[in-house]
Chain A
Amino acid sequence: MEVEAADAVGAVGAAVVSRVQRVGLGWRPELAAGIFANLDRIDVVEVLADDYFNAPRRERDALRALAEQVPVQLHGVGLGLASACAVDTARLDRMARLVEHVRPAGWSEHLAFVRAKGVEIGHLAMPPRTARTIEQTVRNVELARTITGTVPALENIATLFDPPMSTHTEADWSRQILVASGAPLLLDLHNLYANAVNARRDPLADLAAFPLERVSGVHLSGGMWISHDGGERRLLDDHLHSPPDAVFELLRSLQMQTKASFDVVLERDGRYPKFEVLIGELDRARAALSPLVAQPLRRYA
């Protein structure tokens, strides 16, 4: 069920370059039965690595068995690679052991820090985007490559708070890290969309500013609008809602702007709809990747 797509630019010209793109789902225990029942419609599964670091052997063996049936991507959330501080090698060792055991198609982490001076933030946070964080993040990624044997794909995060003390735009900061470290980009389109609309920027312009030639993976998810004291609203990326139309538009735009092959993974962390709804969203992603869909891009900013 993989999409073999003609490059959109090539499709209108003489040369057509084919590429294979896989569309799949984030693994959650609540979705396991649906995933196994629909493996003919799911090309790739992404698994949260941190859930398995301390898991019993039988669970890690089950994960390896899953990886023998369908391509598995391991996805980390706790390393804090994007930081002015050195990454904890004990955490990298745990990732390396899991990679060695599962032998996934690849692994990824976020362009985020998650702790500082002993304070655990509890989730992904964007550090000040400076030359110093670029420099140390590149060192952290190089260490991750040395210890695990593979360079991780790096994912852009959603942030409700754009850190002061930043000297670079998110796209430029990300580009410099990716180019210097040789890491591929795991582009989360809802994160990009949320950051853009929260800052009143055009999401399509933000998309074009990222190094799209480095995209190896895409995340699709949804969110909800929240406000502080009933005042100004912000879009929260919560993985509890379906991706909005704008995210599929961004996927279509991405497909038209890069020749890269990439996996597309739908993320859903709760308030699970019927599995058919998720399958329908995967079909929608496949349609967005299809060169047959040749409508003008709509702007949602």
Chain B
Amino acid sequence: MRNPAQASEDLLARLFTDAAFRARFKLDPKNLGRELGLDDAALATLEQTDWVGLELAARSYALKRAACRKK
């Protein structure tokens, strides 16, 4: 069983690596966060998600993964 802090990292890792999941999250961050096991305190912060930063970070991580695969 993942604790809420681990669930927060699970959420971020999926947001950084899965474009479809990211799109679902944007539509309803709180419900998706709840499904993943975030606690109320964490859920309350999701409204302030930095969408620009998230997209740029996801793009940057995708480029890094692609560069790793080339090596």
Question: What residues make up the interface of A, taking CB atoms closer than 8 Å to B?
Answer: 83-85, 113, 115-117, 119-123, 125, 127-128, 130, 132-133, 136, 159-167, 198, 226-228, 231-232, 234, 236
Contact = CB atoms under 8 A, between A and B. Distances in A.
Contact of A165 (B13, B38, B59, B64): B38
Interface string B28-46: 0000000000100110011
A162 B53 contact: yes
Interface string B2-40: 111110111011101100000000000000000000100
A267 B58 CA distance: 23
Nearest to B49: A164
Nearest to A269: B67
Given A122-B64, A122-B65, A128 B8 contact: yes
Contacts of A130: 5, 8
Main SS class of interface, B:
helix
A160 B2 contact: no
A130 to B, nearest CB: 6
Interface of B: 2-6, 8-10, 12-14, 16-17, 38, 41-42, 45-46, 48-50, 52-57, 59-62, 64-65, 68
Contacts of B55: 228
A214 to B, nearest CB: 25
Given A116-B12, A163-B12, A84 B6 contact: yes
Nearest to B47: A164
Given A160-B56, A164-B46, A234-B53, A116 B10 contact: yes
Contacts of A113: 9, 13
Nearest to A123: B64
Contacts of B38: 165
A146 to B, nearest CB: 22
